[in-house]
Amino acid sequence: MYHILICDDEQDIVNALKIYLMNPDFKLFEANTGVQALEVMEREDIHLILLDIMMPEMDGISAMVKIREKSNVPIILLTAKSEDTDKILGLNTGADDYITKPFNPVEVTARVRSQLRRYMQLGSRAAATARYVIGGVELDDSSKEVTLDGEPISLTPIEYDILKLLMESPGKVYSPKEIYRQVWKEAPLGSDNTVAVHIRHLREKIEINPADPRYLKVVWGQGYKMEKGAKR
C-alpha cells in the first residue's frame, strides 16, 4: 500500500483530491500547512506528497526544502495558473512535477501513479544489473546508486532517470521533448522548461562548475547529451 500525503490549506481541495485518489492501493494522509506536512513526515512512511505552494504558516516551497534535507520522496506541487514563477522555483528546489488548478481527476491519478512507479523502481534492489561510468560519474542500476568521484550523491527519481537515459548513450543528443517522453512517459506538451530546470538541478549535483560542465552538455537548438569520454 502506498502512503500519500495531501497538503493544502483549502480543505475543499484536500477533500476533492481524496475522492480522486480513493483506491485500496492508497492510504491517504492530510495536512493544511507546511508545518503540519513536516509533522506527518516525521510520523509516517510517506511515498508521495501532493503539496500546495501558497499556504499560511509555512509555504510549500519552504516545506519542500526541509523535506529534501531528509528525503527524496516524490513531490508534486499544486499550483494556480498564475504561479509560473513558483512552478519553476519549485522544480529548481526539488519538486518532481506539478499539477495546475483546477484539477483534472484523470491527470491527477496518472501523475501520481507515474511518480510512485518511478520511486518504487528506484528503491528496488532487484531488476537491472547495468553499471555506467563516465569520468568520475558512476551509476549502478542494480543498487540504484550514483557516485561522483567515489562520493555518493542524492538524486530525486526524475534526476536519476534523466541521468541514466543520458549515460546509456553517451554522446547522443536528446531533445527536451525526447527526454520528457522517455522519463515522464507522457506527451511532451510544454516540456522544455520542465526538462531545463531538472537538467540545471542535476548539473548542480554532478558538476564542479555547473556553468562550465564537464559531463552534462547542452547542444544549442538541439538538446542535451552526456559528454562521451569526459575526464575526471
pLDDT, tens digit (0-9, with 9 covering 90-100), for 39-86: 999 989 899 999 998 888 888 889 998 998 888 889 999 988 666 676
pLDDT, tens digit (0-9, with 9 covering 90-100), for 123-140: 543 334 478 899 999 999
Distance CA 116, CA 107 (A): 14
Looking at CATH, the fold of the domain delimited by 131-226 is given as: Arc Repressor Mutant, subunit A (1.10.10)
Domain map (residue ranges) of the chain: 2-123, 131-226
**131-226 matches 2-123 in CATH topology:** no
Does the pLDDT at position 214 exceed 70?
yes
pTM for the complete prediction?
0.60
Supply the pLDDT for residue 16.
Answer: 95
| Better-scored residue on pLDDT, 89 or 97 | 97
Rounded to the nearest 10°, the torsion over CA 120, 168, 75, 45 is: 30
Mean pLDDT of 94-115: 89
**What are the φ/ψ torsions at residue 53 (nearest 5 degrees)?**
-80, -50
Contacts of residue 101, defined as CB under 8 A and 6 or more positions apart, other chains included, come to 13, 78, 79, 80, 81
Mean pLDDT of 195-200: 92
Mean pLDDT of 101-110: 90
The mean pLDDT value of the chain amounts to 87
Q: What is the 3-state secondary structure (H, E, C) of the chain?
A: CEEEEEECCCHHHHHHHHHHCCCCCEEEEEECCHHHHHHHHHHCCCCEEEEECCCCCCCHHHHHHHHHCCCCCCEEEEECCCCHHHHHHHHHCCCCEEEECCCCHHHHHHHHHHHHHHHHHHHCCCCCCCEEEECCEEEECCCCEEEECCEECCCCHHHHHHHHHHHHCCCCCECHHHHHHHHHCCCCCCCHHHHHHHHHHHHHHHCCCCCCCCCEEEECCCEEEECCCCCC
Q: Going by DSSP bridges, is the β-strand pair 48-52/75-79 parallel, antiparallel, or unpaired?
A: parallel
Does the pLDDT at position 191 exceed 90?
no
* pLDDT above 90 coverage of the chain, percent: 50
CATH for 2-123, among 3.40.50.2300, 1.10.10.60, 3.40.50.300, 3.40.50.800? Answer: 3.40.50.2300
Mean pLDDT of 176-186: 88
| Better-scored residue on pLDDT, 37 or 144 | 37
